[in-house]
Amino acid sequence: MLPSVAVNLLCEKAIKAIAAGKPEEIGVLYDHTYRLIYSVAYGVLRNHADAEDAAQETLCKILECASSYQGGSAKGWILSIARHTALDMVKKQSRIHLTEEELPAADTPKGMVEDEVICLDALNSLGETEREVVILRVYCKCRHKEIASLLGITAAGAEKHYQRGLEKLRRYYGEGR
């Protein structure tokens, strides 16, 4: 995995190339940011299928609005689009439907499936903002300042939500789950 700075530079170059008429550069963004985009979308939507849809829609929106990118953190810009896309999906739905996740592939190791279910249950036990902050910090490797910018809160607030989320996760796992 590339360092965050390198990913940001690759993404910035790809966004500018897309804006210049090279839509095939979306593959670079897919390769380096899809998991991050999906993680942000899942943090909002709490549903695997909806998060995948939001991730794909995010990539489509990037193709459409690459020319509006004005510099700065390319990763932050992408994750902001992902979050807003997921929030738009929530608005379109009358309410979030919490459905069972898709069944895993038959060849997926049982322990791996159990670990994923436990992790998703733990994340779902957090409040919305705490869940988003933890996902952005742990999975997306965003700094508190970047998280604050994405969520419209202060950096201190982001850190506080992160600490509260971690404490709840510790308690969750400490209860024998």
Which of 37-41, 93-97, 112-116 has maximum average pLDDT?
Answer: 37-41
Residue 170 has pLDDT above 70, yes or no: yes
Pair (91, 113) in one structural domain? no
Distances (CA, A) of 170 to 43, 125, 164: 19, 11, 10
The radius of gyration of the chain's CA atoms, rounded to the nearest angstrom, is: 17
Question: Last residue of some domain: 97, 117, 146?
Answer: 97
Pair (65, 149) in one structural domain? no
Pair (86, 159) in one structural domain? no
115 three-class SS: helix
Greatest C-alpha distance within the chain = 54
Question: Last residue of some domain: 97, 128, 159?
Answer: 97
Give residue-wise pLDDT tens across range 96-155.
344 444 444 545 454 554 565 667 777 878 888 898 888 888 877 888 888 888 888 999
Pair (115, 80) in one structural domain? no
pLDDT band for 94, please (50, 70, 90 cuts).
very low
| CA–CA dist 56, 72 (Å, integer) | 23
The count of other CB atoms within 10 Å of the CB of residue 87 is 14
Q: What pLDDT shows up at residue 113?
A: 47
Residue 20, classified by CB atoms within 10 Å of its CB into exposed (0-12), middle (13-18) or buried (19+), is: exposed
Q: What pLDDT shows up at residue 103?
A: 43
Nearest residue to 152 via CA among 138, 139, 141, 136: 136
Pair (158, 137) in one structural domain? yes
Q: What pLDDT shows up at residue 142?
A: 84
Return the percentage of the chain with pLDDT > 70, whole number.
Answer: 82
Pair (61, 146) in one structural domain? no
Pair (61, 126) in one structural domain? no
Q: Residue 127: give the domain boundaries.
A: 104-177
CATH code of residue 52 = 1.10.1740.10
Pair (54, 139) in one structural domain? no
Residue 87 has pLDDT above 80, yes or no: yes
Q: How many domains does the chain have?
A: 2
CATH code of residue 138 = 1.10.10.10
Pair (79, 134) in one structural domain? no
Residue 35 has pLDDT above 70, yes or no: yes
What pTM does this model have? 0.65
